[in-house]
Amino acid sequence: MRFKVSHTTRYKYAAPASESFAELRVWPRDSESQKIISRELVIKPEVRADHYLDYFGNHVEFFSIPFRHSEVRVISEAEIETFPYEPRPAVLDTPIGEARQIYNSTLFRLFEYLQPTELAPLTPARKKIRKVFFHETQPIGEALLKLNQWIFKTFEYKPGVTDVSTPLDDVIKNKRGVCQDFAHLMLAILRSHGIPARYVSGYIEAFDPEKTDPELIGAAASHAWVEVFLPGGFWWGLDPTNNQAAGERHVKVAVGRDYNDVAPMRGTYKGALDQQLQVMVSLTRTANATT
Amino acid sequence: MLQSADQPNHFRDYSASHRDEAFAGNAVAQPYQAIVKALNDCSAHELKVRQQRLDRAAAELGIQFALPGERSREAIDWKLDLFPRVLSAEDWDVISRGVIQRAQAFNAYISDIYHEQKILSERVLPFELPLRDPAFHRSFSGIESHGGRYCLTGAFDLVRMPDGEWQVLENQLATPIGVSYILQNRRLLAQCFPELFATMNVAPVASFSTYLTEALRAQTDVANPNIVLLTRGETNQTHFEEGFLARHMGISLVRPADLLVRDSYVYLKTIRGLERVDVIYRRVESSTVDPIATAGTSFEGVPGLVNVIRKGNVSIVNALGSGVADNRAILRYSDRIIGYYTGRRAILPTAPTYHLSDHDQRDYVLENFDSMVLKPVQDHASLRKRLGFKGLLDSPAELKRLAKQYPEYCVAQPVISPSQLPRFRGGDFSPHTVFMRAFFILGEEPVVLPGGLTRQTSRHHRSGRLSVYAEGMKDTWAPAEAVIDRDIPITKTITGERISIGSRTAESLYWAGRYLNRAENTARQFNTLENLRWDQLGLMDQQAYWPLLQAIAAANSHKYAKRKRMPRDTLKFSTQLVLDPSEAASVNACVLSAQFNLGAVRSAISPECWQTLRELAIYLGNQSRGRVTRSKLRESSDQVVSEVARFQGLAERTMLHDDAWQFYRIGGFLERALGVLYLLEVALPRAAETYRADDEESTDLTALLRLNASLDAYRREYRSRAYLDRVARLLLLSPNNPSSVNYCVRNVRYAIGTLSISGERDVGEGVVAGIDALISYLESLPINHMFPSPVPGLDAGGSSEESPSVKPNVIKKQLNALTKELEKLHENIEDVFFSHQHVYARSPVLFES
């Protein structure tokens, strides 16, 4: 499928700020499941952006606005083609026990995706969630989908009740949150069971124009899900917010250990403490690819 | 060794253990023979005198370098023992070669970890140890360091074992402290006991700071680079070390707020403008240099700095994240690391270290727990933050807890019994265990500081770790013949002329001047009104004075300023004006703000000033607690008036009258001018409305003069009752009245004129031109038109029958415009000297319609 993505971030300051600095991770990355056809970044007021690839291979753009301004607008636009990309059934049938052994043999590259992080600590998941998700003999694919579904069913999607600083403990206790919380929760559960997984930020298409399926959640802003490392080297995207595997309607932007590694915009400014943030994301399907 | 009978032997009762470096059995070890003899040449009394002299000189240093105004508890407790440590030529040969080898290996290690991680993929050491290290920041991956130098300078903590073997206890490659102490110790001992230096040709240490400067200089291709030392300057220890180094190296000592990133370059903000920075000597933790590059850090740091470093537009020393080499978990693998990167055997062995996440090692540690010292893998706060660990990790109990809860972040080292040396105390020498920190520079020609920082262990030794204080230090001698002379060309510093002060200092003093003036102003005005109402006016209706009180509120941007009627609870209103610290404009809040601003630049003000201000702030803090009464308010504001006056006097008398001082004055005068104008803006149109020229005495006008501390000035100047035009003239135009707008603005102009900012970038010129325009605007105000003389008979020879028409609206408009211009002057000063917006902003145009 082909999409046009537009991701606008707008900061409006109550009093003019004298300087703003920010690091962006809003440039979708190429992968087996998607190809970036074109990409453009517009910053208003107009300033140049520097680019580099980070530790996790994400595109990072940095800009600074060194003069007085009362508004910053960052518009990231891209055209992307996504492809169906699914693990082989044989991989999904691998028993958990066997998968763990395979992980142990390639632990060096997976180590960081098994460690606790500030936003996805393992202790709350270990202590507060009694449910057993993984049995040695169970096929990994089935177990993962069950976990995905359990989060979807147990936790209520409720925007506004949590933010980045909400500890995982509270999310587990109150049983509600947004895609970001569900992704962190799933990461914590997976990692505490020795299954390597990473955080994905991206976009999702809410309505399928060709079908009448119910709306998918998470399209209004950046979306988040997880990728699990399957034996053989396949990173399998799972979206607990929508109870499904990530598919052609998911556009991947950046990956990391948790949200902190992929934050779409991290910045500071000098000025009055009063600011308004507005984020708009649109993902529109364009004419089917001709190629 | 034989002693003549009449010569004292201070070491007769010295009981040397087998660990003693200076005494082996009954004999004096070779390197110490000359020293022992020299000491025995002195009488016991003489030794005491010398040690006292050393103690006095050291104490003076401690005072000299302590942060001004701090309690002595936090001051530097500097102790230097008169018995130096003497290293043999053989020892020094091993140490210097071993230190350089180890430094080179760990330099390669840091580079590897932040790039290919070959040492991990080749399984030379367990990958989880570096990958779990809280000092390993992924955000610094892939950043190149000039010349591949990731730890240009650093240190290793060494111990000499009883068998004479030197071992490395810990790596200190991030920001180790100590060089300044070594340099000062040498100077102190040479001054207080020069005879000792006749015993041996001691390798000098002072050139180390010059080598360091040269090495920093070589970290950029820019000719005559601008090098700064980046500090947070929090503790006395760092304040001393870094202040000393910066001065010795001739580089600027800066804090994060002194630096500014613009267009992918980093600049030092000075009152002369922006100076590009080429090399940053970093003395702050990597994770705090840039809030954008490192998630979850607070807003300190220099936003955007990491991007500049990544682009290669500034060099940072040591490289960001170099602390990965200090990870204690990898100490066990030091030999492998050295072998892997240098292809040679390690010259210096590393003390045995056990990692608690390894089952076998943990079992071993548990079996020998009583002879083990627990240590966290890193000392940083980041470790505690990552684990959510509440304790400070500085007591054995807390370390035990860490080992239990997070064994993967804990190591153990056997308690070691390293060498001992005589220490002079209470007239006697007794043996004392010593540690040493050896410093290196990994430049084009690697250098090891000849000697090192030898410290005597303390009984209260923090869980076996080294601390700079310990129980005093020893000067450490390396024989000059064992030190290879480095023929490093010394570049003459051309930039010694950097006399301009940093914008941060200027800005802090400017705001301190403004806040203190505002506090004093409000306090005095409040008192004046209180006195007017109760003492002079008796039963005068309070309501009549509301406009004046309101004017004071307006002058202090208080929310009551907009109220038409007097608040019912005047006590509450008065409290908010005077004592309430949460009211941003209250006297109390202003004093606190002044204290906050000066606290950040304490080295720029005198201790006396700081003490006065602190006492005032504490006094107001106490006054604001508990029940507030009217008399308490009067008492408080009285105190503020007199204490601020005391502060001003002290500042005038005890502070250097340099640029920093001028900014304090500029802030003060500007604030006073604004304060007068804000008051006049409200009071003059009101007074004009009710003003009748034939009134016997305008109480409003008299009060207005009093509020501006100008009643006496008026009487001297005019020897008449208060007339509207005369009051206006005195408060707006008088060149002699310290409370007039004109007087204040002229003083601002004078102060700016004295700044040493002339030269190629005379940024002050525009500001001065602006002030000149403002003064001529002020002086050409149509006062006669705004306030037609009520006594034309006296002034113009006309008839007093023609009632002049006073137009309050015109007055208001004129004063308003004037206030706007003054506020613009503030913005202009801010843009040019502090925030450097003028680089981008168009030059401000005065009096645009």
pLDDT digits (tens, 9 = 90+) for B37-96: 999 999 999 999 999 999 888 887 776 655 544 444 445 567 899 999 999 999 999 999
Contact B311 A22 (CB under 8 A): no
pLDDT at res. A291: 46
Q: What is the pLDDT of residues B342-393, one digit of tens each?
A: 999 999 999 999 999 888 998 999 898 888 888 899 887 778 777 777 777 7
d(CA B268, CA A25): 29
**Same domain (yes/no): B687, B765:** yes
Give yes or no for residue B603 having a pLDDT over 80.
Answer: no
Same-domain pairing of B182 and B170? yes
Angstroms from A140 CA to nearest CA on chain B: 25
Q: For strand B372-376 and strand B354-355, is the pairing parallel, antiparallel, or unpaired?
A: unpaired
Beta strand B428-441 with B420-425 is antiparallel
CA angle B339, B342, B346 (to 5 degrees): 50
Q: What percent of chain B has pLDDT over 70?
A: 83
**Phi, psi dihedrals of residue B679, rounded to the nearest 5°:** -70, -45
Distance CA B846, CA B823 (A): 11
The kind and range of the H/E element at B86 are strand B80-86
Does A18 sit within 8 Å of B837, measured CB to CB?
Answer: yes
- Does pLDDT of B489 surpass 80? no
Task: Spell out a b/e string for B503-534, using b for 16 or more CB atoms within 10 Å of the CB, else e.
Answer: bbbbbbbbbbbbbbbbbbbbbbbbbbbbebbe
Q: Is residue B18 one of the residues assigned to a domain?
A: no
The rounded distance, in Å, linking the Cα atoms of B165 and B175 is: 27
Sorting pLDDT into bands at 50, 70 and 90, what band is A18?
confident
Radius of gyration of chain B (CA): 34
Determine contact, residues A6/A251, Cβ cutoff 8 Å.
no
Residue A22 to residue B291, Cβ atoms within 8 A:
no
Specify if B781 maps to a domain: yes
Q: Which domains, ranges and CATH numbers included, belong to chain A?
A: 2-82+263-285 (2.60.40.2250), 89-261 (3.10.620.30)
Look at B127 and A107 and tell me if their CB atoms are within 8 Å.
yes
**Radius of gyration in angstroms for the set of CA atoms belonging to chain A, rounded to a whole number:** 20
Q: DSSP letter at B833? A: I
pLDDT of res. B763: 67
Q: Are residues B700 and B841 in the same domain?
A: yes
pLDDT tens digits, B771-781: 999 999 999 88
Structurally, chain B folds into a number of domains equal to 3
Strand order in the sheet with B265-270: B259-262, B265-270, B273-276
pLDDT, greater one: B757 or B624: B624
Answer whether residue B774 is part of any domain: yes
Cβ contacts of A266 on chain B, cutoff 8 Å: 292, 295
Does the distance separating the beta carbons of B132 and A115 come in below 8 Å? yes
Cβ contact A7:A273 at 8 Å: no
Q: Where does a domain end: B604, B625, B655?
A: B655
pLDDT at A132: 86
Whether residues B303 and A67 touch (CB distance < 8 A) is answered with: no
Given pLDDT bands bounded at 50, 70 and 90, which one contains residue B468? very low
Query: Could you say which of A53, A111, A270 has the minimum Cβ distance to residue B131?
Result: A111
Asked which of A262-271, B233-242, B315-324 is least confident by mean pLDDT, the reply is B233-242
Spell out the residues 6+ positions from residue B730 whose beta carbon is closer than 8 angstroms to its own: B705, B710, B713, B714, B717, B718, B737, B740
pLDDT for B793 beyond 50? no
> What is the complex's ipTM, to 2 decimals?
0.89
Residue B785 exposed, middle or buried by CB count within 10 Å (0-12, 13-18, 19+):
exposed
Give the mean pLDDT of B417-433: 89
Arithmetic mean of pLDDT, B398-420: 89
Is B841's CB within 8 Å of A52's CB? no
In which element (H, E) is residue A275 found? strand A275-285
For testing contact with chain A, the best of B121, B263, B292 (most A CBs within 10 A) = B292
- In this predicted structure, the answer to whether residue B844 has a pLDDT above a threshold of 50 is no
B148 shares its domain with B264:
yes
At residue B560, the 3 state secondary structure works out as helix
Q: Which long-range contacts (CB under 8 A, 24 or more apart) does B535-544 make?
A: B537/B699, B542/B566, B542/B570
The tokens for B137 are: 């920041």
Helix B764-779 vs helix B741-754: crossing angle, to nearest 10? 160
Three-class SS of residue B842? Answer: coil
Residue B234 has pLDDT above 90, yes or no: no
More confident residue, B384 or B492: B384
B94 and B167 belong to one structural domain: yes
User: Which residue out of B123, B138, B320 would a mutagenesis test of the A interface target, given it has the greatest number of A Cβ atoms within 10 Å?
Assistant: B138
For residue A237, what are the β-bridge partners? Answer: A227
Inter-chain touch B131–A263, beta carbons under 8 Å: no
- Phi, psi (deg, nearest 5) at residue A256: -175, -170
- The distance of A23 to chain B (nearest Cα, Å) reads 7
Tokens linked to B349: 């062995």
At residue B481, does pLDDT exceed 80?
Answer: yes
Same domain, B205 and B280: yes
**Could you tell me if A108 lies within 8 Å of chain B, comparing CB atoms?**
yes
- Residue A163 has a CB neighbour count (10 Å cut-off) of 10
Domain boundary among B655, B670, B688: B655
- Name which of A64, A107, A260 is nearest B261 (Cβ-Cβ): A64
Decide if B131 and A267 are in contact by the 8 Å CB cutoff.
no
Pair B314, B308: CB distance under 8 Å = yes
Of residues B703 and A196, more confidently modeled:
A196
Region A255-268: what's the mean pLDDT? 93
Q: Using DSSP, how many helices (H) and how many strands (E) does chain A show?
A: 8, 15
CB contact under 8 A, A18 and B835: yes
Residues of chain A contacting residue B141, judged by C-beta atoms under 8 Å apart:
54-55
Q: What is the Cα–Cα distance from A185 to A124, expressed in whole angstroms? A: 9
Report whether B742 contacts B734 (CB < 8 A).
yes
Q: In whole angstroms, what is the distance from residue A278 CA to residue B667 CA?
A: 38
Mean pLDDT over B679-684 rounds to: 84
Residue B691 banded pLDDT, cuts 50, 70, 90: low
Nearest to B586 by CA among B572, B597, B594, B575: B575
Q: Are residues B616 and B756 in the same domain?
A: no
Q: Which residue is closest to A112 within chain B, CA to CA? A: B131
Tell whether B521 is covered by a domain. Answer: yes
Domain-ending residue, one of B628, B655, B682: B655
Count of pairs with CB atoms under 8 A, one residue in A, one in B: 78
Beta pairing, strands B80-86 & B473-477: parallel
Exposed e or buried b per residue across B340-357, where buried means at least 16 C-beta atoms within 10 angstroms of its C-beta: bbeeeebbbebbebbbbb
Q: Do A68 and B837 touch (CB under 8 A)?
A: yes
Is residue B449 in a domain?
yes
Minimal Cα–Cα distance from B719 to chain A, Å?
48
Cα of A291 to nearest chain B Cα, Å: 37
- Higher-scoring residue by pLDDT: B6, A265: A265
* Alpha carbon of A259: minimum distance to chain B alpha carbons (Å): 10
The yes-or-no verdict on residue A39 having pLDDT over 70 is yes
pLDDT of residue B335: 97
What's the confidence (pLDDT) of residue B345?
97
C-beta of residue B413 within 8 angstroms of C-beta of residue B375: yes
- Rounded to an integer, the average pLDDT of B204-222 is 92
The answer to whether the CB of A262 falls within 8 A of the CB of A256 is: yes
Over residues A202-220, the mean pLDDT reads: 81
Residues B644 and B719 in one domain: no
Are B469 and B557 in the same domain? Answer: no
Residue A207 has pLDDT above 50, yes or no: yes
From chain A, pick out residues whose CB is under 8 angstroms from the CB of B128: 111
> Above 80 in pLDDT, residue A41?
yes
Per-residue pLDDT band for B219 (boundaries 50, 70, 90) equals very high
Interface of A with B in 126-155 (CB under 8 A): none
Examine residue B215 and state whether it is found in any structural domain, yes or no: yes
Instruction: For tokens 């005391």, name the residue.
Output: B646
Tell me which of B483 and B649 has the higher pLDDT. B649
- The pLDDT assigned to B843 comes to 39
Record: contact B138-A267, CB cut-off 8 A: no
Do B730 and B625 share a structural domain? no
How far apart CA B727 and CA B709 sit, in angstroms, is 12
Q: What is the pLDDT of residues B118-136, one digit of tens each?
A: 999 999 999 999 999 989 9
Domain residue limits at B635 = 501-655
* Same domain as B560, residue B513: yes
**Are B291 and A263 inside 8 Å of each other by CB?**
no
Q: Which of A25-39, B172-186, B346-360, B747-761 is predicted least confidently? A: B747-761
Contacts of A118 in chain B (CB under 8 A): 296, 385-386
Contact B138 A261 (CB under 8 A): yes
Residue B389, in any domain of the structure? no
Contact B292 A23 (CB under 8 A): yes
Q: Say if strands B227-230 and B252-254 run parallel, antiparallel, or are unpaired.
A: parallel
pLDDT for B704:
84
The dihedral built from the CA positions of residue B720, B725, B727 and B730, taken in this order, carries a sign that is: negative
Residues of B with CB under 8 A from a CB of A: 120-121, 123, 127-128, 131-132, 138-139, 141-142, 260-264, 291-293, 295-296, 299, 303-304, 307, 310-311, 385-386, 388, 835, 837, 839-841
Ramachandran area for residue B767 (φ above 0: left; ψ -120 to 50: alpha; else beta) = alpha
**Tokens standing for residue B583:** 């009211």
The percentage of residues in chain B with a pLDDT greater than 90, rounded to a whole number, is 44
Predicted pLDDT at B121: 92
B42 domain residue, yes or no: no
Identity (one letter) of the amino acid at B276?
A: R
Q: Strand pairing partners for B670?
A: none
Average model confidence (pLDDT) across chain A = 91
Mean pLDDT of B263-278: 89
What is the reported pLDDT for B567? 65
The whole-angstrom distance between A207's CA and the closest CA on chain B is: 34
Domain identity same for B644 and B689: no
Q: Which residues contact B567 (CB under 8 A, 6 or more apart)?
A: B560, B573
Strands A250-256 and A197-204: antiparallel
Which tens digits make up the pLDDT trace of B306-343?
Answer: 999 999 999 999 999 999 999 999 999 999 999 999 99
B307:A50 CB<8 A: yes
Higher pLDDT pick, A26 / A213: A26
**Are the Cβ atoms of B840 and A55 closer than 8 angstroms?**
no
